[in-house]
Chain A
Amino acid sequence: MSGLAFEGVSHRYGSLLAVDSVELAVRPGETVCLLGPSGCGKSTLLRLAAGLEELQTGRIEIGGRAVAAAGARSRVPPEERSVGLVFQDYALFPHLTVLENIRYGLPGGRSGGKDRARRALAELGMSDLAERYPHALSGGQQQRVALLRALVPRPRVMLLDEPFSTLDEHLRHEVRMETMNLLAGSGAVTVLVTHDAEEAMLLGDRIVVMQAGRIVQDASPGEVYARPSNLFTARLFGPLNLFEGTVRGGLVETPLGPVEAVGFADSSRVSVAVRADGIELVSTASVPTDCARVRVRSVRRLGAWTLVLMTPGDVTREALGAGEALRETVLEARVPGGAELIAGDVYAVRTRPEKAFVFAAGSG
């Protein structure tokens, strides 16, 4: 393994277990996105890899060599690890110009690395900013400078800690694409920390989902989206409709109709999650009368999508199963088009099987 590897890494801050027995290996040229909410330990992993945090348990390798191992008397200091780190707040040196910031990691004293730094700036069309100070840059410019500063020394490992979180929406997309291009050319191991699932899908060759310090799923973006390992992971990719139910004959009845429960024994209790974009509404005339029905409460156009809020309604008592309480449940659907839907009307509802997930009850 010549990239970056964490072996049995755990880390505590006082009594808080921030990282719990993490095993993770990243190949050179591969981009892995660590995805999870704030406080799940993903930033701590980056700091451990960079050597900014002292390793407590386990072992970290870069390029096949241990840079830190618990119990070892010494470890490789951050400046000798060939690691580039882009900080969430960018951490540009406020007393140095843009050019001096980018040159900082290059050898050669006062004038060393000037040409390389200038070329890098020119490639991003920022040559005219070379003599500015960080406070005179916009947020997007600061982000680009921070990225260049970390990339220019050609590190073997690039670590990015929520690098786009302080940018506004339209700028974020532009800078993301630019960052992707720069990173793709570098051939480095890349680990990017984010709490934004869409960003992880866009940038990651692999997504590693973290929850409370543990890795709960490590798979390709398509796999994580299509087959989330638990409710927590499923929830990261957008709104869900949640139900509790009991498996009967390989099926779970829900207010949105029956959902297949593969691999669950009869009469086991399960949680069912249906993505908002996994719901189809059709006219009641075109389907059998025993199909699940909903009453649409509101219809809101969101451009390509339409947000539909509805309550389970006009369904048979038997199909409702859980009883009276569910009548008040508000369900959420995102449907393409949807111009024909009318608030107040009753529709038949179907669940797309690839967007409905069944988990053991209480599994997260």
Chain B
Amino acid sequence: MTVFAAAARRAAWPSIDGWTAAALAVAALVAVPLASIAYRALDPSDDTLSHLAATVLPVYVSNTLWLMLGVGLGTVVIGSSTAWLVTMYRFPGRRILSWALLLPLAVPSYVLAFVVTDQLEYAGPVQAALRELFGWASARDYRFPEIRSLGGAIVVLSLVLYPYVYLLARAAFTEQCFCLFEASRTLGRGPLPSFLRVALPMARPGIAVGVALALMETLNEFGTVEFFAVPTLTAGIFDVWLNMDSPAGASQLAVALVAFTLVLLAVERRARHRGRVHATTTRVRGLPEYPLARGAALAALLWCALPVLLGFVLPAAVLAGYAIEFHDAALGHEYLAFAGNSLRLAAAAAVVTTALGLVLAYGVRLSRHPGMRAMAEAATVGYAVPGAVLAVGLLYPLGALDNSVDAVARELFGISTGLLLSGTIAGLVLGYSARFMSLSYRTLDAGLERVTPSIEGASRTLGAGPGATLRRIHSPLIRPSLLVAALLVFVDTMKELPLTLLMRPFDFETLATFVYQLASDELLEECALGALTIVAAGVLPVAVISRTIARSRPGHHPG
């Protein structure tokens, strides 16, 4: 019985072991602020919610629903169609577009909103040119669509959020076996029906994850909807919080918002579970890259270039123009110091959040307990909680933790530890981790799902334990997913506004906080250099990572 007895002395497998415990701890990091919010929302001494329900709540909810519907459709259409074109076909500009299509990810939605408004308002260049052209004298002579509207918000958000769908759809198309698509072609279906009936359904898990991410970002959106005066639930939370001075009411709205996300998560998870497909072969073939005829090639080029032009080139060009024209005013601010702050923060958040997300995703996979997965899912709703609400959810537990650590240290060693987490960089990184855990966990979970159970079983029966298997098999195989996870967290941390505003140390400025403050005072020209820097910082990792993804297909010779 020695083998059995030895096993009994070690932690049981696969019930509670080190991995499960670590995953539970990571999940708790995200669950604690949510519990704190829920606790405050249930405060019975506050009847703000009934007042809200009778007045503005229906408006908040309907605006939120329309925004989600519009952005969901917009991102799926743009993201999956462009991903398919650049993966499957050869046309001029394809190589550049395959990474350029990620560029709008670097543009914060509020920056695009400021730029678009700047260009389309009455005094802006577009309307001025139209008046010049047709000889109109004033606004009474013509009708011009109002960009600061629900429709405008849908367009702006779709243009900056479609890269989530593009990124995951492209990864899914790249990793699926093209023999299936070719089988469909030989069975008499043309390229388009084959795409719709074979390739697209097989890529559904990836696309669903991409849309879920884009819609969570939409639910969180504050800058654009505030500036466009589209009162969504999130905008409502800020209104109730700051103008009605009711944290409990804001928490109640936050709970409603979390409910939206849970529905979204449930629908997406179901779709993903049903469409669960493992690669049926380990033999990976090169991509076909069908050449396109001249007309079709031009159409493909235009279709793929348009989102890049509107979502990236336009704002970058306008900001660059202002940055050059107003460089004295821009340099007058300490933007170099702010840029350094932003980069360091984003890098730290990317490393920490990716590592924690991997622990969570792998722990869930190892335990195979349905409860674990449900808990990990619950833990990832941090992404859907508006940054400001999450910040407050964290401030109370962190403060309590600091006070108790301080008390213990005084008791035992007679020294005061002061505030370790509250209002410090460490606390801020923890906040980013809680907020972006979903990005990291879901990307890595989708990556792990593509490692077939038999590959994992082969490693285990050959004597590698869970840790060694993660290091030797999963990590190299899911390297694209690890890089994608780190990239998503990095770029989002650069852009993240409300959480940074509330959790940063006193007098600590990042580019995002600086740009938002100036731009909302209609000083876009003066903060253009800062905004451009956020965009540029986002561009670098986009380019690097896009290349790595293309190189690191499974089975591809390294180097």
Binding site for B on A (CB under 8 A): 47, 50-52, 54, 62-63, 65-67, 69, 72-81, 83-85, 87-95, 104-105, 107, 133-135, 142, 149-150, 153, 155
Contacts and interface: CB of A to CB of B under 8 A. Distances in A.
Contacts of B368: 54
Contacts of A62: 3
Residue of B281, B282, B284, B555 with most partner-chain A CB within 10 A:
B282
B50 interface: no
A95 B454 contact: no
Contacts of A67: 3-4
Given A87-B458, A133-B557, A79 B463 contact: yes
A84 B558 CA distance: 28
Contacts of A79: 460-465
Given A79-B463, A93-B473, A94-B555, A74 B2 contact: no
Contacts of B558: 95
Given A93-B473, A94-B554, A52 B455 contact: no
A81 B461 CA distance: 7
B465 to A, nearest CB: 5
B1 interface: yes
Given A78-B460, A83-B461, A150-B461, A91 B13 contact: no
Contacts of B281: 89
Nearest to A73: B12
Nearest to B553: A94
A208 to B, nearest CB: 21
Contacts of A155: 461
Given A65-B4, A91-B282, A85 B13 contact: no
Given A78-B457, A85-B458, 17 more contacts: A54-B368, A62-B3, A74-B11, A75-B4, A76-B6, A79-B461, A79-B462, A83-B461, A94-B477, A95-B555, A104-B472, A105-B462, A105-B464, A135-B282, A135-B283, A150-B462, A155-B461
A89 to B, nearest CB: 6
Contacts of B555: 94-95, 133-135
Contacts of A104: 459, 462, 464, 472
A231 B555 CA distance: 47
A50 B13 contact: no
A75 B282 contact: no
A81 B460 CA distance: 10
SS of A interface (majority): loop
Q: Dominant SS at the B interface?
A: loop
B10 interface: yes
A78 to B, nearest CB: 4
Q: Of A72, A74, A75, A87, which is in contact with the most chain B CB atoms at under 10 Å from its CB? A: A74
A65 B2 CA distance: 7
A94 B284 contact: yes
Contacts of A74: 7-8, 10-13, 15
Contact of B7 (A77, A133, A135): A77
A79 B466 CA distance: 9
A81 B12 CA distance: 15
Nearest to B285: A135
Contacts of B461: 50-52, 78-79, 81, 83-85, 105, 150, 155
B104 to A, nearest CB: 32
Contacts of B8: 72-74
Of B10, B459, B463, most A-chain CB atoms within 10 Å? B463
Contacts of B473: 93
Which of the listed residues B4, B15, B284, B368 has the most CB atoms from chain A within 10 Å of its own CB? B4
Contacts of A94: 282, 284, 477, 554-555
19 contacts: A51-B461, A52-B461, A74-B13, A74-B15, A75-B12, A76-B6, A78-B457, A79-B460, A79-B462, A80-B7, A83-B461, A87-B457, A93-B458, A95-B477, A95-B554, A104-B472, A133-B557, A150-B461, A155-B461
Interface string B1-37: 1111011101111110000000000000000000000
A62 B461 CA distance: 14
Contacts of B417: none
A76 B3 contact: yes
Most A CB atoms within 10 A — which of B3, B280, B555? B3
